[in-house]
Structure 1
């Protein structure tokens, strides 16, 4: 992978990073990992608040983390194909990165963090569109932080964001309908766990199997 196209921009960003206050550097270091945890919390919250809704809403909410995981796997496959070394080791004249430079074999292109961030941002926005105002800036900041701390080229994170977003969108589009059918089936199940996972669906008039059974018995 030819990384010379963005090497100068990488140097500009990392030189700027080393000139920022130490508290800001620590904040960037924290965000580069903590952002993943926040996306994880959003996955859980979106699923939980989708449970009273229709089967499609639950299906897309469940697909959000799954689509992000598929995007991550695609990123890993591309890494083994391109085998781009990390800029903190490869760029001539680069200063020390703010975090430890990953070892040889932990390739740079594309950025896994950015792929996950891009996939999560789009998948969550598909599940609940208003979240795009939160998740897209989160993803952009996470991607930038990977260059800021010195472990990725700008093109690594740009491609990672696009890859994550595209893969997540494709997975949701292809899998939403089959999973929607599964959620509907789970809502008719006698299993308490299945009913809890699929949700009551009260927002669309769907009712758990137990409740429907009571109404059927009453009519008899």
Structure 2
């Protein structure tokens, strides 16, 4: 009896929405003026979310304990979402589209064979940030949500992911972040209250003017 190889069992992303992926990469082929910007944002755009989180922390110093608890839980939510997403990648082992569709236009270099596509880590992390920030601040969260959508779109544009990789990554990041931050909002508020009365007060509460 022959045993199927891991590659044979891997998710066939091209059969799901390879045509749509090709449409997007063809669009990228004809918009060279946008290629550099999209590649740069796809690579280092996570810095936008870090800046927004710092802004949320600064504002939370003047708000209630539960808001600060939500802010402080955001990095944990992001890390947990990334870990969950990486586990899903290992289960499905979807080859990158640059391997399944090697003749399509590509901006970002094709990753190693064991760097799987489904779901998108970049998109997962971006949406984990965005959902957490939406809970903390509607204004900052709205900016983060737009930045997360742009991140997901850029991952398809540069040829790194299929659209379904991005869609599922957005769902995973959003769901995990929502659960983690709401749990922190509910259960970690007393801890923040105690910390605000101790040595960490300058970091957790604005000094009265």
Q: Distance between the aligned counterparts of 2:171 and 2:62, measured in 1?
A: 32
CA distance in 2, matches of 1:128, 1:82: 35
Q: Equivalent residues in 2 for 1:58-137 (5 A)?
A: 58-91=68-101, 93-95=103-105, 97-137=106-146
Q: 1:72 and 1:201, CA in 2 relative to 1: closer, same or farther beyond 3 A?
A: farther
Matches of 1:117 and 1:149, distance apart in 2: 17
1:38 equivalent to 2:38? Answer no
Deviation at 1:201, TM superposition (A): 7.8
- Number of aligned positions between the proteins: 198
Extract structure 1 runs of 4+ deviating beyond 6 A. Answer: none
Instruction: Tell me which residue corresponds to 2:3.
Output: none
Are the counterparts in 2 of residues 9 and 154 from structure 1 also a CA contact under 8 Å? yes
Residues 147 and 153, structure 1, Cα contact 8 Å, conserved in 2: yes
Q: State the TM-score, normalized to the length of structure 2.
A: 0.89
| 1:87-145 deviations in Å (ceiling 9; x for gaps) | 011126423x1011111111100000000111111111111122233111111111010
| Superposition TM-score, scaled by structure 1 size | 0.85
SS in structure 1 at match of 2:167: helix
Say if 1:10 and 1:153, in contact at 8 Å, map to a contact too.
yes
Structure 2 segments unaligned to the other structure (5+ residues): 1-10
CA contact (8 A) 2:70 2:182 kept: no
CA contact (8 A) 2:38 2:157 kept: yes
